Structure 1
């Protein structure tokens, strides 16, 4: 866990990069850490709480996943065969599809957070981190980049441990508020993002993992916003 924190967040701790890939099972444990400051802002209901909460979230986790989302969207929206889509995803220049995707993800999160209780950001981050674990569990790397490096260390034991952690962390929120159970629907959005990656690119790379994290978080918040509104 201590090696995963400096790799997955901007928290200035020292860690071993090689050991971090053997701690992927602890991805769900990152959620309480990354959602702590945003949840605090939401709890005290300060002015512009939804905007400030999101700023604090990205201050904690950085913008790497958002960058991956932009590249992912450029690749998915490019017409043509897989080779052309992969080339567009790896292009250093961000296209209009990438800009649109980032803006929409930010907007959906900001809008949803103003309708939800303070702990919703924790549920969304929990889903986001678990979805990353599920993405790595596909074991279908695209190229030899960072995604492939982590996938090589992924195994059933890590997936099982991560799944148990996910349910363990989800349980207190469900006990506190039964409607929290509907947050698991956000994982379906993450699963669809994984399917998009495989259908369009034939594999998973770091951009796909980052996109899955971002889309799952936003999708979870939007799903919960509908649940809180109608139930």
Structure 2
């Protein structure tokens, strides 16, 4: 897993660039690392725990995925053909669609966290990382960036191993609190973002993976918040 950490977090560990794409199966494991401190903050019920937990999460994983979400949203919202959408996504300037997407994702997370159990941020991160693995499994690369590099190393064995690992990491929480199973519905957000990406851009790149990660996490927290309210 150590070779994946430098690409998915800001943790100062040295990873081997060549070996990283052979460890794609370990994406779900990263959730254990990225969510441990935010979960602790929520468990201790510190003042403004929802804000502090989210700040700690982004301090750990960085803002790269949020930046990808902004670029992705700009591309999705542009009217025109596929070439024009890809051009908008690659534009260095962030448009109003990108800004709106980032604000809404942060808003949903901040306001969902006080309504859900402390371990929900772990489930949301687990879904987020597994969703990225699903995005890579489409084998529909777009451009020649890091996303394409990882996608070239993706295969059925890595997906099967990652899926098994995801299930094993989710199972303890589901056994501890069976209603937490509803959090699996957060992956529907991942499926929708993947669908939109393929329809609008014809493939998936790093920006699309960032959008998949961010929207899946926010969507999972939203699902868990509504489920607890409904109960």
TM-score when scaled to structure 2? 0.99
Distance across 1 between alignment mates of 2:2 and 2:150: 16
Residue matched to 2:145:
145
**1:107 alignment counterpart:** 107
User: Any idea what SS the aligned residue of 1:139 has?
Assistant: coil
Q: Determine the structure 1 residue equivalent to 2:21.
A: 21
Could you tell me the TM-score, scaled by structure 1's length? Answer: 0.99
Shift of 1:18: 1.2
Aligned to 1:47: 47
Distance (Å, rounded) in 1 between the aligned partners of 2:151 and 2:204: 9
Q: 1:219 is matched with which residue? A: 219
**Bigger CA drift: 51-60 or 139-148?**
139-148
Tell me which residue corresponds to 1:69: 69
Deviations 1:66-97 (A, max 9, x none): 00000000000000000000000000000000
What SS does the aligned partner of 1:187 have? helix
Segments of 5+ residues of structure 1 without an aligned counterpart are none
Say yes or no: does 1:11 pair with 2:3.
Answer: no
Q: How many matched pairs?
A: 231
1:39-62 Cα shifts (integer Å, max 9, x gaps): 000000011000000000000000
The alignment's C-alpha RMSD in Å is: 0.5
Separation of aligned partners in 2, 1:23 and 1:182: 28
Contact 1:7 1:17 in 2 (8 A): no
Deviations 1:124-162 (Å, cap 9, x if unpaired)?
Answer: 000000000000000000111111111100000000000
Instruction: Name the structure 1 match of 2:205.
Output: 205
Q: Which runs of 5+ in 2 are unaligned?
A: none
Deviation beyond 4 Å, 4+ runs, structure 1: none
CA distance in 1, matches of 2:189, 2:98: 18
Distance 1:173 1:17 in 2: 33
Structure 2 distance, partners of 1:91, 1:47, is 39
Structure 1 residue 8: Cα displacement: 1.1
Return the alpha-carbon distance in structure 2 between the equivalents of residues 18 and 192 of structure 1. 31
